[in-house]
Amino acid sequence: MARRDNSPDFIEAIARGLDVIRAFGPGQPVMSLAGVAGASDLPRPTARRILLTLEQLGYARQVGAGGYELTPRVLDLGMSYVLSRGLWEVARPHMEALVSRTRESSSIAQLDGSDIVYVTRVAVPIGTRFPAMQTSLGKVLLAALPLTEAERVLAEPSRSGITPRWQPDATERAASLREVRARGWALTDEQLAPGIRSVAVPLRDGDGRVIAALNVNSHAAETPLEVLTGKHLPLLLQTAGAISADWAAYQSVPQVKVSAANPSATDEAS
């Protein structure tokens, strides 16, 4: 196989090892040496040495007569990416793809008293604060709380400095949050300020708890409600599912610490 990169810093052996791992595609859990060599475009002796190395490291094993399969340890390679990042960094590429498809802005927010605070927003500085009840993000977050807790939170003075258009009483708030709980997403249509229209869905951890909310935000004059709920909402739900799945995967991996006295010894972190 011809060298694929002429840079003196390029390590061909690592690239070939990754080629062998990628050779085990969908529907091919077990492959012969010849099959791996063919799929990775490598000579059979090279493919064999790589497979034996992966076997010694615990990433592959021999099965049957001349067959090979990957082991679950290969998942560690992908988890290294997830574990090196927080939720917001995990979410960002998904949000960028969502913004590319909807051509609208997208944000993640969390509750802070009776306000929401934007913690991640594509192409817009974070830290923006709005009254929670008048935003789709806030409705999602408040709906995840027991009603009495939501009312306690909303009783706190807003620090946003904004007076929203919609000023619901307790009965209206309760009805609105019940609707959000029932359908699993929230809509706001110029309730915060003229021209602001958005839809939001929850982000969940591995135990199903709502940890934040994700939205698509649009201008009422440019995006009809039927586009926001009929076209953007399904993409938003799909994106939230992908982010939640990545975060759940992060949570499922035991956090370990290495003993300075014995680098090979690991203990589960508390």
The Cβ of residue 224 has, within 10 Å, a number of other Cβ atoms equal to: 13
pLDDT of residue 243: 92
Per-residue confidence (pLDDT) for residue 118, from 0 to 100: 83
Burial call 78-112: b when 16+ CB within 10 Å, e when fewer? eeeebeeeebeebbbebbebbbeebebbbbbbbbb
- Taking only the tens of pLDDT, the chain with its 270 residues reads 545 567 788 899 999 999 999 999 878 889 999 999 999 999 999 999 999 999 999 899 999 888 999 987 787 776 565 555 567 778 888 999 999 999 999 998 888 889 998 877 775 556 778 999 999 999 999 999 999 999 999 999 998 889 999 999 999 999 999 999 999 999 999 999 999 999 999 999 888 999 899 999 999 999 999 999 999 999 999 999 999 998 887 767 665 443 434 444 333 332
User: What pTM was estimated for this model as a whole?
Assistant: 0.65
- The C-alpha atoms of residue 78 and residue 254 are separated, in whole angstroms, by 14
Contact 111, 132 (CB under 8 A): yes
What pLDDT is attached to residue 264? Answer: 42
Rg (CA), the chain: 25
Write the CB contacts of 144 (distance below 8 Å, at least 6 apart in sequence): 202, 209, 210
Count of beta carbons in the 10 Å neighbourhood of residue 65: 6
Residues pairing with 256 in the sheet: 268
pLDDT recorded at residue 262: 42
The sign one gets for the Cα dihedral 161, 167, 170, 175 is negative
